[in-house]
């Protein structure tokens, strides 16, 4: 099934209750709207199907446990991974924190200038020595520079697979090869990649992959960390409590194997079911179709903005679903406010990427980001709003 090809934009938007009323939502990189299929799955899980998991001996608990673990399998399959290597976390932020704190061979970590704060601060808090890879002129992570910077002191490389500001797509296979050449591991922040690219962690060659559900048309409050089984097995628990144990005594505790070792406490049962439903939804539409659809919209918007003499575009031409720009003489917050009056939602600010803003020489950018439900009408509304803003500010 290729819903983007077979359904009209109106048909597709109708599957998302949050888009009712003609709202032009161009902030999917921040969080995606939810299709009715995901909403229905979470409502059933919270209502008629609800029970705890992993603990109950009664039938509904057993059924919910099966559904919970089936969701793990669906999410893992979406990135080409075995279910036993996928840890449910509270989000990509917690997934990165888990690795930063629990990975036993702490040393130097190579990040890049374009990283989200969630892929900077955890390494600092956990005591890693941070080095920063520069960018190319068009906003890509400079892997030639990375190759020159990497040493045997580096035990981790942590890069965004797709930039949340520039939409630039990392050559992940080469990044993995460079990391492995010096004995380091590669962690990829896949928040912006999983909703729009077909991901196969084996083909990418990475060692850890972190992503969230809410950018994948699923619920907030849950994400996932994939890690190679031998790496997860060598990592101690990060948090303690129920469910992650083998045996507890006051003299000492032994721990469950991964992934349960890293899932202390009652899990996000409802959210996991929604996560699995979201994985089903995008798989049914097809990641290749989603990527092609968003790529066409990016090209159309960049072409329209480039035709203006008062807009600065950031990032590469071939960006994945994201267009960041600045309107001369207008702060992005002012632009965002006027666009809201026109029924258009964009993100305006530093996008949790303050080092990148410093690199770009701006305090903030305006960011339009597409989803599988976006269409030409959204672009047209954005362009009308920009023109109105220009008239107001002169």
pLDDT at 25 over 60: yes
pLDDT for 369 equals 98
Q: pLDDT digit string (tens) for 215-250? A: 999 999 999 999 999 999 999 999 999 999 999 999
pLDDT at 2 over 80: no
DSSP string, 19-37: GTTT-EE-BTTT-----HH
pLDDT for 1 equals 46
Positions marked active-site: 352
Using pLDDT thresholds of 50, 70 and 90, give the confidence band for residue 51: very high
Q: pLDDT digit string (tens) for 152-169? A: 999 999 999 999 999 999
Q: What is the 3-state secondary structure (H, E, C) of 98-126?
A: HHHHHCCCCCEEEEECCCCHHHCHHHHHC
CB 329 within 8 A of CB 343: no
Reference 187, options 260, 251, 103; nearest CA is 103
Average pLDDT over residues 126-141: 98
Q: Which domains does the chain have, with CATH numbers?
A: 3-30+286-393 (3.90.1150.10), 39-284 (3.40.640.10)
CB 166 within 8 A of CB 355: no
- The structure's pTM equals 0.97
Give the separation between CA 257 and CA 266, rounded to whole angstroms: 17
Reduce the DSSP state of residue 213 to 3 states and report it: coil
pLDDT for 8 equals 73
- Residues of the chain with pLDDT > 90: what percent? 96
pLDDT at 88 over 60: yes
pLDDT for 4 equals 63
pLDDT at 344 over 90: yes
pLDDT for 176 equals 98
């Amino acid at each position: 099934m290729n819903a983007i090809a077979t359904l009209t934009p109106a048909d597709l938007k109708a599957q998302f209750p949050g888009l009712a009323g003609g709202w032009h939502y161009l902030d999917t990189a921040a969080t995606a709207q939810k299709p009715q299929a995901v909403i229905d799955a979470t409502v059933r899980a919270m209502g008629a199907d609800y029970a705890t998991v992993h603990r109950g001996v009664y039938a509904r608990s057993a059924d919910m446990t099966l559904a919970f673990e089936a969701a793990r399998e669906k999410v893992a399959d979406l990135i080409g991974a075995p279910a036993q290597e996928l840890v449910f976390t509270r989000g990509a932020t917690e997934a990165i924190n888990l690795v930063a704190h629990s990975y036993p061979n702490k040393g130097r970590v190579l990040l890049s200038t374009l990283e989200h704060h969630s892929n900077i601060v955890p390494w600092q808090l956990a005591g890693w020595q941070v080095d920063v890879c520069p960018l190319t002129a068009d906003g890509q992570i400079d892997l030639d520079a990375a190759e020159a910077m990497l040493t045997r002191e580096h035990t981790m490389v942590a890069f965004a697979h797709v930039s949340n500001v520039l939409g630039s797509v990392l050559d992940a296979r080469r990044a993995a090869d460079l990391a492995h050449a010096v004995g380091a591991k590669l962690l990829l922040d896949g928040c912006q990649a999983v909703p729009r690219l077909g991901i196969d962690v084996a083909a990418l060659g990475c060692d850890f992959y972190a992503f969230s559900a809410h950018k994948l048309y699923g619920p907030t409050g849950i994400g996932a960390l994939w890690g190679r089984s031998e790496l997860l097995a060598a990592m101690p628990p990060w948090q303690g409590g129920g469910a992650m144990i083998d045996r507890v005594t006051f003299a000492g505790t032994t721990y469950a194997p991964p992934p349960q070792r890293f899932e202390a406490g009652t899990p996000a049962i409802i959210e996991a079911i929604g996560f699995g439903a979201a994985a089903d939804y995008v798989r049914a539409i097809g990641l290749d179709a989603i990527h092609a659809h968003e790529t066409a919209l990016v090209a159309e918007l960049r072409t329209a903005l480039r035709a203006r003499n008062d807009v600065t575009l950031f990032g590469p031409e071939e960006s994945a679903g994201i267009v960041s720009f600045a309107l001369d003489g207008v702060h992005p917050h002012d632009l965002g406010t006027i666009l809201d009056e026109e029924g258009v939602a964009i993100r305006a600010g530093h996008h949790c990427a303050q080092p990148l803003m410093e690199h770009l020489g701006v305090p903030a950018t305006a960011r339009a980001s597409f989803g599988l439900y976006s269409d030409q009408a959204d672009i047209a509304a954005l362009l009308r709003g920009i023109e109105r803003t220009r008239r107001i500010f002169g």
